[in-house]
Amino acid sequence: MSQDSSFRKLQVTGGSTVIVSLPKSWVEQNKLSKGDVVNLHEMQSGDLKISPISQNSHKSSVSIDSTMIGSEIMDLLIGTYLTGCDSIRIYSKDPISRTVKKTVRDFLRDSRGMEIETESDKEIIIVSLLNPSELKLQVSVNRMYILIASLVKDSFDVLSGEDVELLADIEERERQIDARRMLIERQVASSIYSSSVEKQLGLSRYSAMEHANIARILERMGDHAYRLATLVRHNASIVKMKTSEYPLRAIEPWSRDLKKLIHNMYTKDTSIIHQCKINLSTLRKEVETAEDEHYYGRGSAERLFAEFKISESIRRLCAYSVNYAEALINILMYEQMQYQ
């Protein structure tokens, strides 16, 4: 579709009705004719979007030749999913290999709302069962936060003396974090392509893009929460860190301020968000200072290394929380700008 812009004068007809002509090429490309109805949607930015009614019924699809790509198939499946594609067809001139079928199963496990519609020896068709506007972006953000917080809390509890079995399912929790991030990016892509999805999600396109940024920040936090949990699970018996001292001392205030940030996606109190950002930034610096002192500690190299890596993950959790606060401020200021 052409992205060229053009300028047209407004005209008055009937004494009070204002009209503007549509480009002939656009009318022909969308197979429109006299008497057809188009959809007018006013964007939050004030722009007016015109789209053919039939656009709402269009389904996007991609075909992937599994014999041409080998181990790259997972990357292509995820890339197709993130674009908001409705149907993915995997085909082969020979019977589809077991490796490809396993990759498809892994993809379905790690994505949301995708299911196999038909499957034969030489073709697999995966379709989306989830309308991108059915689930609010904030729901997935909240779920990511809950999973991250649980990983960190359970790690802290194990270091405080609880059973290491609290960390038995950390791989599954990490997969759920990644799956939610991908779902948010898929919904954001759909909102860019479809004004109806944008309207139903209740977000401007700018806000939707910042939500994708927030999802990526939370995913990085999830990576470090998982890394922290893994370190604790493997080294709980040799680590000798006091919960009253840094870095473990930082976990409670980090958790408290992150919870406030999540809550203020709804209450939208920028003063609280700004204060949380300052608190978290200070917390990160304090953990970093404690790390410098850790270099002079005594003990086995294995223990000191594990303790340093635990501290590093906690420090990075604080740093990414600062990034989250900044992204949230960006969204709120954009919304205020729109209504001035």
Quote the CA–CA distance of 261 and 275 in Å, as a whole number. 10
116 and 141 belong to one structural domain? no
Range of the domain at 41: 11-56
Reading the block at residue 46, the tokens are 């004030």
Asked, for residue 39, whether it belongs to a domain, the answer is yes
Asked, for residue 256, whether it belongs to a domain, the answer is yes
Are residue 143 and residue 263 in the same domain, yes or no?
yes
* Co-location of 212 and 324 in the same domain: yes
145 and 92 within one domain: no
Mean of per-residue pLDDT scores for the chain: 88
- Evaluate whether residue 254 is within a structural domain: yes
Are the C-beta atoms of residues 196 and 119 closer than 8 Å to each other? Answer: no
How many other CB atoms are found less than 10 A from the CB of residue 274?
14
Q: 225 and 165 in one domain?
A: yes
Tens of pLDDT along 246-290?
A: 999 999 999 999 999 999 987 889 999 999 999 999 999 999 999
Query: Same domain for 52 and 77?
Result: no
For residue 181, the domain's CATH number is: 1.20.58.220
Q: Is residue 37 part of a domain?
A: yes
The whole-model pTM stands at 0.82
The verdict on 190 and 94 lying in the same domain is: no
What is the distance between the alpha carbons of residues 317 and 217, in angstroms, rounded to a whole number? Answer: 10
Contact 277, 322 (CB under 8 A): yes
In a domain, 2, yes or no: no
Listed residues 128, 146, 167: the one ending a domain: 128
Cβ atoms < 10 Å from Cβ of 143? 17
Q: Quick: pLDDT tens for 126-181.
A: 999 888 777 888 899 999 999 999 999 999 999 999 999 999 999 999 999 999 99
40 φ, ψ (degrees, to nearest 5):
-110, 125
Q: Convert the pLDDT of each residue in 295-334 to its tens digit.
A: 666 668 889 899 999 999 999 999 999 999 999 999 888 8
Q: How many domains does the chain have?
A: 3
Does 105 share its domain with 33?
Answer: no
Distance CA 327, CA 156 (A): 27
The per-residue pLDDT for range 30-56, each reduced to its tens digit, is: 788 877 877 776 665 567 777 776 544
Q: What residues pair up with 41 in beta bridges, in sequence order?
A: 49
Report yes or no: 110 and 179 within 8 Å, Cβ to Cβ. Answer: yes
Q: Which residues contact 89 (CB under 8 A, 6 or more apart)?
A: 61, 62, 63, 64, 123, 124, 125, 126
